[in-house]
Each structure stands twice: as structure tokens, then as C-alpha cells.
Amino acid sequence: MGEMWTVRNLSVPVVESNSNTSDLSHQLDVGTDFSSKVFITVFYILIFLVGTIGNVLTMRLVLKKHNRHKLQGTVHYHLVSMALSDILILLISIPIELYNFIWVHYPWIFGDTVCRSYYFLRDICSYATVLNITSLSCERYLAICHPMTAKRIMSKMRTKKILSVIWFSSVLFAMPMAFIMGVKYENTTPEGEEDPSSLICTNLVSTATLKVFIQVNVFVSFLLPLALISCLNCVTVNQLESLRSRCFLSLHSSSKAPWASYRAHGSLKPISSSSGVKKPFASGATFKSSLTVSSEPNRIQPLQHSIYMLRAVVIAYVVCWLPYHARRLMFCYIPDDYWTGFLYTFYHYFYMLTNTLFYVSSAVNPILYNMVSSSFRELFLDTLGFSRQRKEQNLNASLSVQTSLRSDTCSLNTPANHRLAGRKETANGKM
């Protein structure tokens, strides 16, 4: 919002200190039409409800002890951390933005502490989200490309320490916001005193300093993590495809082995040696290799699901955050002389669109988890109670089928049927 006030001041004439109420409105009012306000409000409320409920359910289902073994490795710790940051973004940002940006642009009524805390906490959660995604990408890279190293260094305790470092680093990265933002009076009364009705929450530093800070923030919180995440995911996906290819070739070659007849016919066939003496079906080495081959798909499938989940999260992250940071860079690189009323109007509605996408990214993750992970979807439905209902329906259907089969069996075992069968046997005996 601070950059919006700055852009607004660049695109409208400067108002004298003895301006009246209409001039103050012209200076500080952002200028959103009523229909857009209603639409954005409804959409924000929908995002808030879907995101809050979805992330709370995600945390609840992951924190259940009996569900943890069904999720891949230490992924559930990252899911909880990302869900927490998403919930905090929604709870902190949407109510204040609806009030101060959409409906009541001035004066700011929450005080200087809330103003600084709002931007500070919002930046903490933003950094935590991107660092969580980066950490999860690194973990999946190790699990697939360096499994032995991952098994040695990736433990629950170490993952908890990494997440603690992530949140502590997020606090440090967001610390400047507590000093850059604050409240100030944009106007004075005819008596020369500060006008309470012109109090706004905005940046307290110069425009040049604000632009430098935004560029550093975009690089640290978006461009650098995005480059690292993209490289890690490309290498990880290529390695996973290589594992799948090797697994397919191993299974294809093993299907031609003599022990394949055991699977096909359910019996052991001896193997003839070169001397003509029949040997037992399989040696220890053969049995061991078959176990390795048969267990490879079981290893690849959960890894593949975790990669699908990570890829969906990364795509959503790029789609939702790229316009947001592009708009911030637009503010930095467009010269002050170019800020006309038309450009400000475009920037204003682009601001609303990018902020909406920013909040969508905090609400969409639970939906993505359900779309790409069958195990997560099963646990999610079980948390909602739908899985139990489905099991009960399947059980009732099974019982009804068993009951009908029993009734059919009983009808076949009636005395009349027995007499009819006896007559047929007698007739066959005479024949």
C-alpha cells in the first residue's frame, strides 16, 4: 500500500496545506469504483474461507500421528510449515487490506504499531513460504538423486531444525519493514497542525530508498529462489525419469527369466544346468535381484507423487507471485515523469489483480495437494468424514451382495431341488 500512496502522489497535483475536504479526498482517495469494490470483497472473502479452512484441515490431518507414515519422508513437516505461513498471510493481510485499501483509504485508525506489524508480519510469512518451497525442493533432490546421503542426513530432528532456521531467517529478512513503514500525516489544518483525517500507513523513507529496497526484496524473495528451485526440479525430474526407465527395463528383462513361470502358473519349475542336472528354481543371488526389481516401483511411486506435489506448488507459486513482483518492479523502473493519470489507473487495477493472485497462492495449496496426491486426498477425505461414509457404503454393498448370494444358495438347496437332482442321478444310472 505504501507504493500505491507514492504512485498516487506522483500522478496527481500536489495539494496545498490549507486544502479542504474535497481536495484531501482527491489527494488520498485511491479511486476504486463501487462494482470493483464489491467484486474484490466477495472474492477476498471466498479466498479467506477456502484458504483458512483448507490449511487448517491440512495441518490437522498431517499432525495426526497415524497419518504421518502415509506421507513421504519428512514432507509433512514442510506441509505444516507452509500451511502455517499461508494461514497467517490470510489472517493478517486480507481483513486489513479490505478495510484500508478497498473501502476506507484514510484515515488509518489502527495506530503506528499495527501499521509496522502488518507489513513486518506479512513479509515474514512471504519469506517463510518461499524458503519452505526451496527447502522442500532441496530435500526431494537429495531423496531422488542422492538417496544414501539423504538417508544419512535427512531426519525428523534435522528437518525441524531447518524449519526453525527458515522462520528465524524470515524474521531477519523482514526486519527492515518494521522501520521503512509507519504512519504519517499527509496534510495539515489551516492552523498549521497535523490533520487527523489525513493519517495514512505508508513508507517513511524516500522514494529512491523504497525502490532500492523493493528490488532487493524481489531478488531475494523471488528471483534467486526461483532459479534454485527450477534447477533442482529439472535435475530431480530427469533423475526420476531415469529411475523409471531402468525399472521398466529391469522388469521387462526379468519377465523373460525362468522364474517368470512361477508367477504365471503358481508352481516352481527346476532349471536345467549345462550338464543336464536339474537344479532348484532360484539361487540366493537370483532371489535377491528379484526382490530389488520388484521393490523398485514401490520406491519410485511415492517419490513420483511427492515430485508431482512439489511441481504443482512451484507452478502455483510462479503464476501467483510473478505478476505481484512484476508490478512492484513496474513501480521501481517507470520514471516519475511517466506517471500520468491513465498509467496510475492501470497500475491501480493491476495492483488489485496481483494482490488477489498473491492471496490465491495461500489458498490453493491444499487444493493442489488433493489433486496430485492420492494418499493426501484419502487422508483429507477421511478428516472430513467422507472416507468413513464411503467405507460404510462399500461395506453395506458387500453385505447386501453376500446376503443375496446366501439366499440364492439356500434356494438351490431346497428339498424340491434335491428330489429333482436325485431323479436325474437315477435316470443317469439307468442309462
pLDDT tens, N- to C-terminus, the chain (431 residues) = 555 545 555 544 444 444 444 555 555 556 677 888 889 999 999 999 999 998 998 888 777 754 555 555 677 788 889 899 999 999 999 999 888 888 887 788 888 999 999 999 999 999 999 999 899 888 888 887 887 887 788 777 888 899 999 999 999 999 999 999 998 888 777 777 777 878 888 889 988 899 999 999 999 999 999 999 889 888 887 877 777 677 666 666 655 554 444 444 444 444 444 444 444 444 444 433 333 434 455 555 666 666 777 777 788 888 999 999 999 999 999 888 888 888 888 888 898 899 999 999 889 888 877 766 666 667 667 767 765 555 555 555 555 545 554 554 445 455 555 554 555 555 554 44
Structural domain contains residue 406: no
Task: Give the number of other CB atoms < 10 A from CB of residue 77.
Answer: 21
In a domain, residue 384? The reply is yes
- Residue 194's φ and ψ, nearest 5 degrees, are -70, 135
Closest CA to 308 of 363, 244, 247, 233: 233
Using CB atoms within 10 Å of the CB of residue 421, give its burial: 0 to 12 exposed, 13 to 18 middle, 19+ buried: exposed
User: Cα–Cα distances in Å, from 400 out to 394, 405, 407, 412?
Assistant: 10, 9, 10, 18
Alpha-carbon distance 96 to 237, whole Å?
41
| Residue 394: inside a domain | no
- Length of the chain (residues): 431
Residue 263 lies in a domain: no
The angle formed by the CA atoms of residues 321, 324 and 327, to the nearest 5 degrees, is 150
Tally the domains of the chain: 1
| Beta strand extents in 76-198 (DSSP E only) | 181-185
Which CATH number do you get for residue 89? 1.20.1070.10
Q: Which residues contact 31 (CB under 8 A, 6 or more apart)?
A: 345, 348
Q: Is 180 a domain residue?
A: yes
Determine the structural domain holding residue 233 and report its residue range. 2-252+297-389
Model confidence pTM above 0.95: no
Longest CA pairwise span in the chain (Å)? 129
Residue 409 lies inside a defined structural domain of this protein? no
